[in-house]
Amino acid sequence: MFKLPFELQFVGNEKAKKELGDVDNLTVEKVDKLAEEFLEDVKQDLIESKGWPVNMSSYIVSKAALNAYTRILAKKYPKIATNAVSPGFTKTDINQNTGTNTIEEAAEGPVKLALIADTGISGLYFELTEESTFE
């Protein structure tokens, strides 16, 4: 059983938490609809009043959606290894190189997942090279 995706701890929108946290009933259509609702709330300047994260809202919501899509694909295609991996806080231009991980360290997780594809490991979340949880 999967736990609530990590990014959702920053989301006060109860509908989003419920939909994205209900792994057994996740569908592409539900995730797409939530993403569309988020975009509409952004356009209407309603993110705070609708319970979306105020800081880095697009990043957090997109990561939560990506994790949901990972779970959906892993369930739909059990013979294909489908996992999510975070490179951690990596030194890149997006954070003015304030990250703690080098690009080489950040690449280790995706490479590890590519090399374990035939093991049957699927539907999981990795932080760098370590299996983690979606919470």
Dihedral sign from CA coordinates of 1, 64, 110, 128: negative
Given the residues 59, 69, 77, 125, select the one marked as catalytic.
Answer: 59
Residue 7 token pair: 């990014």
Whether 69 is catalytic is no
27 in Cβ contact with 18 (< 8 Å): no
Beta bridge partners of 125: 84, 132
The catalytic site residues sit at: 59
